[in-house]
Structure 1
Amino acid sequence: MSLPTLSSKRLFDGVATSHQPGDGDLVAYCDPHDLIAIATEAHDIIVYRITGQIAFTIKRKDDDLVVTALSWKEDGSVLAVAWSDGSWGLHSGENGKSLHRSSVRSEDHGSEREWRLDLVPDFGGGDDDEQESRTNVVHFEWRKHVGDEGSAVGDLSAELSTEDWEDMFDSALEFDGLHQVQKRTNSKSSVKRLARAIATMDATTVLPKLSAIPSHGLRAGPDGSKFSTQALVDTIFGVAKTEDTGFVDTLVITCSDGIVRVMIDDTVEIGSCTVPGMLVLSASHTQSPTHTLISRSGKGETVVSLLDIALHALSSTLLHEVSTNTKRIQHLLEYIAQTIRCIEHDYTTGLQFPSRLRKNIIMELEEKQEGDLVSNMYHLAMTGQYSPTMLEWLSDIVKETNHKRWDVAITTMYTNILNHVFFNLLPALTRLEIAITTLRGHAIHHAGSNNSHFAVEPKLFTNLLEGADSLRLVAQKLQLVVAAELKQFKAFSKWLKVYIDVAIAEPGTAAAIEIEEREQPNLEMGFVLGYVEDILMTGSKIEGFVLPLAEWRGGYAREEWVKRTEVMSYERVMHFLQVMGSGKEVAPVAQISLPALAAWTHGSARMVLQRITAWQSKLLKAPMSQSIAARDNDRMLDLRMLSVGGNSGASTTTQLLLLPEADSRALLIQNLSNPSSKAQAFDSEVCAMDGRISDAKATPDGTVLVLIRRDDDSIAIVTKENEVVHAFDPDFEAQRILLGGRQGKSVCFVLGERQGGREWRLLDLEAAKLGMP
């Protein structure tokens, strides 16, 4: 029997092989969108459509790095990738753009990341040999669990006095007996839904969407393209619909040292635990709170660990709000930092060409001892008389062409900064303040609750809000300064253009006099002289707002960072802005520097997030572990959690496919029924196959497909009862299979070799009528 081949693809450059025992080639199939992600030697990660067309490519950040883990989110919206330096990232399932980056080499592994005084991206870890020998991500496990509907409202319904609402519903009852009881039950359900709807209301939905951040050529590390398109920004700041909050999106990240991190909503860390040794396989099910982890300990034992996720707590409205706003704070701070980097970039690049023109005339004036540029400009504006050097500079160097470039550069610079402040920075700060105040409200409400509710000190949120408010004050002041300087520059540029034309026409000639008489009444000399005196003489006030300070750079230990940031406060920011508003000169200080204020706010947010993680980690219990009958060299082929009893989810079973080292023709199937916090022994079934086993996988309904090489050297896919499903042609040597797809379109991905090169084929399992959902 041969299944229809949906597509095939020749991979001339080979496929990278994982260093994990028995894991083979790193391949991940996206069920909803029929995408195939393959880690290759030359092109890092290539994502193909089933037609073989390349959808997008994810490049590695260093030539020495290799991919250690690869996995799609269930809905196909995100692709998780881990690298050999301990870093991992989330990429858009649509175009591969970076959505989030982090590292497992952080505080949990003995070395706290530096606390920064600048906006240099930092993801922990390092490139030295000692760091390279440390932990990496070896496995991702995505799962969208069905939350506990009864606890979805949780304590919040009592806090909102829903009993009073029920009394109000009861007063309207007109029926007796059974009908009254039935209506009362419906009333309780309605009240719970009402309480949930009130608790999950999102104030940001009435605000305009955040705009993409135009970088204008800036290369700012991993965040450089993260907010570059509107589609990416909408994806990053998208919020789950209210009716979806009964579900819990979990991401379990397992490291090579046995550390297991549990995340919700992709990026919010709940806590971590440890399994013995190196993880080999893991499995979970939507309708079960248990994750099954298979690992090999240093003693050569194969260990099964059962990790229970606290769905009853994670699906509550309180946890939903905490995770939503925690994630929002993380992304908004990254968005704000990228905006400030772009403002700095626009300022420095906008001044490059005008600075070259100014340096040229300054050197000429100094060499000929004709004073400085400001004096000569002021003299020209007041008298209309040129010095010889100024006349030559304006007529031969600046001219019309370079004046136009000067005008465009400065006008674009001011316009870009205004746009960044108005369209990016201020709207992001508004959303940040909403998220902070929401969490602070919960912290105040639950203060003194013996750590049973939201055990985070309100003071931490107050400090974070102080940083956000300070950023808003300085951003608004910067907006006023930029607008004033832009108005002055426009007047100065218009005046300069007139006197360039006069210089070219030669002063004193009829043409020059005509130009002066025609244009002089249209010049705003107050703004011209103000620009010469305020900008050309003392420099732009924008510099103090947007450029990093020399003393505010680098990373420090937490205690030193706290000591250095003691000078920051909302009151001091107000003081320096008031002094600046009085007309007094203010030297560049941290209190009015956007990069310094953002670094201070980032540090305050880090304290908040660490405290939230410490509180949430109490929801995660240590997994139950026990050894199973398997030798160290036995191959773990597949692990899948299956639903028993239809869609009710009343019970689940975990199925492990094991290939004993001593017999390559025997498939050992072990089942663990009803996994719970109390570990149980596996029930074993041995299946004798009509050939040497290369790989085996289980379908979602429990059907087992086995890839074998028969005695006649032919290769086929068979069931565990040795019924042939698909026979391959002699030219293709199949080596690995991967099952995927969705209801009505189940597929089998086969990876192998043909004529010395790598090739994959996609087979249509629906034709086999295996009863897959």
Structure 2
Amino acid sequence: MAEPLAEKVVQPAINPSHVAYCPTMDLIALATIDEHIHIYRLNGQKVFGVQTKQPSAKVDKIKWKPNGQSLAAAYSNHFLTLTNAQTCKVVHQIDCSAYSKSPICCLGWGANFTDSNKVSQQINKLKGELSLDDVISHNPQTKAIDSVPDLPLDLAFLDVEASLPKLSVLSSGGIDSRASLDTLFQPLTTGSTDSADILVVGFEDGTVHLSIFDSFEIGSFSLQQASRGFQICRPLLHSSHPYSTTHSLLVSSSTGNIEELYVVPLDLRLLSNAGRYLSLLAAKSTQLHNVLRYIHQVQRQMYSDFKASQVLPRKFIVNVEEALQEQSDCTWVQAAYHLVVTGNCYPEVKEWLVDQLAERGHKRWEKATTTGYESVRRLAHENLLPALERFAVIVSRLRGLSKFQVSNVTLGLSTQDLDNILDTVNCLQLVGHRILIASGSELRQFQAFSAWLRQEIENQSTDASSTDSPEKDTNVDHASTLEYIQGAMTQSELTRFFDLEGNTDQSLQWDLKAEGRSLFELYKRELKLDNKDDPATKRLPAFDALLKHLDTQCNAVFSSIAETQKRNVRFGSPTSLGVGTPACMDMRMLVENPEETGKFVTYVILGPSTKQLEVHVYRITFEIENGMSSTKGVKVASIRTAALEVRDVKFIDDDELMLAASDKTSSRLIRIPYRKMGEAPNGLQYTVVADHDGRKSKSQAEQSNSTPSIDLSDPEDLNACTWQEFPAGVSWTPERLEVNGRKGRRVICVLAQDRFHYRVYDLDTSSETQNTRTEGSDDVML
């Protein structure tokens, strides 16, 4: 009997379908029945929680990233959130309704090496010092691989962006912390240059969506492409191996009332075709997308702050304009100009200054306008221009990659498209500098105007016959005041960049192909020739129109990359596993022989279906050549359960599996070797189901009636395989298993049937040493 490492009681009850153990840290993610996701340490302390903006949305799936740095959570509102485990912040949110309107039923996350032979050779050289798990999680031990000099690779992955100043935080733009911003724009580390993270999202209608590096989308695919017989199908499980360019999907296909399971290979030829440049391409494209999103947030905040600063002054001016038009037949600009030059105040202006505006209204006007100008100036200087500079550097990197090779075939990059993007970025930088200059200039003018207006309010409020009349302030800058009155007060130069009128037509008005010139040259010319007094000559597109044009250009580049990589994705031939969908199942992909490249095995364990008394373990072998997979054979082994009720099944690691089963007297965790094919005691023995041509050697009925490898109805076999036994009782009957099979830290989380309790057991240490591990467990946790 093993002693638990940890035990916790959770309120409210836990949803047994949503429990996930972090691959690299001792963190347990679970969703409760109130649809909230909580992440706990082994000592029971809550680290953080994940909650969607729509309280009514239910949790569909949760999945840890292979390196343990992020947690993906899919909700019933079709949103997929990615939360960083270090900062505890949501770093990305994906609207999956664009891919499919059906609910998400499968979530997979695999790490694949773009040069698996290189990684495999290095691990073999450092055998005993470095494991595959260390490379995936980017542990410090991976520096042994990185220490081998590779000048071309080092030059290709030279990170220039790391030397650029950090972007400033936008408090109201969706990125509200320094940690979240640093996580969003983290550089491509050396340990990740030879790998690509593949995020697989499966939907109930059979749609499978792929993306790399969290947000770089490859595209959506239909499982019906794998077989004409897949009319109604849905993915259930996903598995992959870092060395394999092929992933495996467990798919359920329905025909009438009959439901059949298949293993469908998913060939990702893009991993081998693009090679080591795939991770660079995906990382830079993701960074480009993030910076573009950041620029949009800056634009929205600049627009909002400037628009808010113009609302109150316009109300004040409208009030005095009405009186002036009726009584003196002039405008506020004419009356104010007359007052500054001559000192003669119209009666309507005096009444407005004394009775309506007064000192309180002046302070509100001053605060609103000053805050708006300062905000726009700060955002342009601290956020917009640095972001555009970073954007140009990333585009230049992609441009260099496009000129280095025939990228239209392998990467989907076009040098001309990237040149056009740089041209638009130059326009935006020009606009950013104009905004910076205009906001600073108009702020100085307004400060002079505000000082003059305050003096006039005091003068007009004092009786002319009074001996206490205030002295005039000789420090008022009358020239700047007049400039503001006839200029920025009613028609700010910033309005040409911000569409305050809400015009819907914000497209570019220039036909660049007909003009035969770059957008940047045209914009410079129009800025010089533009006549502010003649609205008919205004052809300059606003800031948001330029951003919309940049969006169109970037989306064309992203689409070209995605389409090129999408052509390198295909479904292989499905392998049937029989009729019926069991209540519990698991899937794992392994290397067939470390000495032979291109040969892999997918193991599938299926719990007993209705009216069945056996657990089946399928072994599908396939070979990969030039990114294309082919099935070489299918074998099956059976475990007879008899009176035992199997509640869950899981693969522990590459050698063992575990069953959670119970009967009337007790509950057990049963541990069985599955890979050594009868060599180990109580190991499984496989029989051939289909040969390398895919022909079945046995029917489904013959498989069910074949001699089982292990008979758990035999007390001797049952006791030999039992690893942990629980006494009779509802509270500790196992309901769900979650296993972390990482070498050196193999643990299992057992959720009780009451769904309020869970326990964590160490699969390797003895009961005498577990107490020591528990006391020091906080040293290895987040």
TM range (shorter): 0.7 to 0.9
SS at match of 1:390: helix
1:345 is aligned to 304
2:143 matches 1:143: no
Q: CA deviation at 1:496?
A: 1.7
* Amino acid across the alignment from 1:735: E
Distance 1:395 1:551, change over 3 A: closer
1:594 counterpart residue number: 543
Whole-angstrom distance in 1 between the partners of 2:46 and 2:537: 50
**Cα distance between partner residues in 2 of 1:656 and 1:502:** 89
Q: Which amino acid aligns with 1:289?
A: T
Aligned to 2:696: none
- 3-state SS in 2 of match to 1:635: coil
Q: Are 1:260 and 2:227 an aligned pair?
A: no
Cα deviation, residue 649, structure 1: 8.8
Shift of 1:534: 0.7
* Cα displacement (A) at 1:342: 0.6
Provide the C-alpha distance between the structure 2 equivalents of 1:509 and 1:645, rounded to a whole number of angstroms: 104
Match of residue 765, structure 1, among 762, 765, 775: 762
* Cα distance in 2 between the residues matched to 1:202 and 1:235: 16
Percent of aligned positions that are identical: 25
Q: CA deviation at 1:747?
A: 3.2
2:24 is the counterpart of 1:72? no
> Does the CA contact (< 8 Å) of 1:79 and 1:90 recur in 2?
yes
Contact kept in structure 1, 2:269 and 2:569, CA below 8 Å: yes
- Say if 1:263 and 1:706 are closer, same or farther in 2 by CA, change over 3 A: same
Alignment of 1:78-477 (within 5 A): 78-94=70-86, 97-106=89-98, 134-148=101-115, 193-215=150-172, 224-225=173-174, 227-275=175-223, 276=230, 277-299=233-255, 300-310=259-269, 313=272, 316-365=275-324, 371-446=330-405, 452-477=409-434
- Which stretch shifts more, 759-768 or 475-484? 759-768
Instruction: State the Cα RMSD in Å.
Output: 3.7
Equivalent in the alignment of 1:727: 726
Instruction: Measure how far apart 1:562 and its partner are.
Output: 12
Amino acid at match of 1:82: A
Residues 306 and 35 from structure 1, CA distance in 2 versus in 1: closer, same or farther, beyond 3 angstroms?
A: same
The question of whether the paired residues in 2 share the 8 Å contact of 1:734 and 1:750 is answered with yes
Give the whole-Å Cα distance in 2 for the aligned partners of 1:377 and 1:614.
61
Out of 22, 25, 32, the residue aligned to residue 30 of structure 1 is 22
Q: Structure 1 residues 644, 622: CA separation in 2 closer, same or farther (over 3 Å shift)?
A: closer
Per-residue Cα deviation, 1:359-393 (whole angstroms, up to 9, x for no partner): 44344545655743223322322233434443343
What letter corresponds to residue 303 of structure 2 in structure 1? E
Give the conservation status (yes or no) of the 8 Å contact 1:88–1:137: no
Amino acid at match of 1:657: I
**Alpha-carbon distance change, 764 to 752 in structure 1, aligned in 2, over 3 angstroms:** closer
Is the counterpart of residue 619 in structure 1 residue 578 in structure 2? no
Taking the TM superposition and a 5 Å limit, the aligned residue runs for 1:519-668 are 519-520=473-474, 522-536=475-489, 538-547=490-499, 550-552=502-504, 569-580=519-530, 585-586=534-535, 591-628=540-577, 630-642=578-590, 653-663=601-611, 665-668=613-616
Q: Secondary structure at the match of 2:504?
A: coil
CA contact under 8 A between 2:87 and 2:179: conserved in structure 1? no
Q: Does 1:705 align with 2:664?
A: no
Structure 1 letter corresponding to 2:110: R
Correspondence 1:490 to 2:447: yes
Report the Cα offset of residue 336 of structure 1: 1.0
Q: State the alpha-carbon separation in 1 of the partners of residues 727 and 741 from structure 2.
A: 21
Secondary structure class of the residue paired with 1:669: strand
1:661-676 → structure 2 map (5 Å cutoff): 661-663=609-611, 665-673=613-621, 676=624
Please give the alpha-carbon distance, in whole angstroms, between the structure 2 residues aligned to 1:199 and 1:78: 27
Report the AA paired with residue 464 of structure 1: I
Equivalent residue letter for 1:727: F
Amino acid at match of 1:204: E
Query: Given residue 111 of structure 2, which amino acid in structure 1 is its aligned partner?
Result: K
The change in CA–CA distance for 1:37 and 1:190 in structure 2 (over 3 A counts) is: closer
Q: Distance in 2 between matches of 1:562 and 1:753?
A: 68
- The residue type equivalent to 2:495 in the other structure is E
- CA drift of 1:404 comes to 2.6
- By how many angstroms is 1:693 displaced? 0.9
| Structure 1 unaligned spans of 5+ | 17-23, 110-124, 126-133, 153-188, 216-223
Q: Deviations over 1:406-433 (max 9, x none)?
A: 2222111111111111111111111222
Please say if 1:478 is aligned against 2:435: yes
Using the TM superposition, give the Cα deviation of residue 318 of structure 1 relative to its aligned residue in structure 2, in angstroms: 3.1
The TM-score with structure 2 as length reference comes to: 0.78
- 8 Å Cα contact 1:270/1:620 also seen in 2: no
> Which piece of structure 1 moves more, 342-351 or 247-256?
247-256
Whether 1:694 and 2:647 are equivalent positions in the alignment is yes
Q: Do the aligned partners of residues 237 and 553 (structure 1) sit closer, same or farther apart at CA in structure 2, a change above 3 Å counting? A: farther
User: What's 1:170 paired with?
Assistant: none
In the alignment, the residues of structure 1 paired with residue 384 and residue 240 of structure 2 have an alpha-carbon distance, to the nearest angstrom, of 41
C-alpha contact 1:639 1:655 (8 A) present in aligned 2: yes
Residues 313 and 632 (structure 1 numbering): CA distance in 2 closer, same or farther, change over 3 Å?
same
CA contact (8 A) 1:290 1:306 kept: yes
**Structure 1 position 529, deviation (Å):** 0.8
Q: Which moved more, 1:285-294 or 1:384-393?
A: 384-393
TM-superposed deviation, 1:637: 1.7
1:736 aligns with 2:688: no
Tell me whether 566-575 or 689-698 shows the greater mean CA deviation.
566-575
Which of 434, 459, 462 lines up with 1:502 in the alignment? Answer: 459
1:749: Cα distance to partner? 2.5
Q: TM-score, normalised by structure 1?
A: 0.79
Deviates more, 1:424-433 or 1:235-244: 235-244
**1:53-64 equivalent positions in 2, closer than 5 A:** 53-62=45-54
What letter matches 1:602 in structure 2? D
CA distance in 2, matches of 1:470, 1:207: 21
Matches of 1:507 and 1:649, distance apart in 2: 99
Instruction: Give the paired residue count.
Output: 678
Aligned-partner residue type, residue 216 of structure 2:
V
Secondary structure of 1:386's partner? coil
Paired amino acid for 2:452: W
CA distance in 1, matches of 2:246, 2:640: 31
1:73 offset after TM fit, Å?
0.9
Contact 2:193 2:279 in 1 (8 A): yes
Q: Deviations over 1:122-176 (max 9, x none)?
A: xxx7xxxxxxxx3343222222223326689xxxxxxxxxxxxxxxxxxxxxxxx
Matched letter for residue 717 of structure 1 = L
Distance 1:366 1:206 in 2: 59
Q: Which amino acid aligns with 2:724?
A: V
Q: Which moved more, 1:229-238 or 1:192-201?
A: 192-201
Give the direction of change, closer, same or farther, for the CA distance of 1:295–1:191 in structure 2 (3 Å limit): closer
| Deviation sequence 1:665-706 (CA, Å, 0-9, x none) | 532222334664121443222223462111121212432222
User: Match of 1:98, as an amino acid?
Assistant: V
Q: Distance in 2 between matches of 1:71 and 1:647?
A: 31
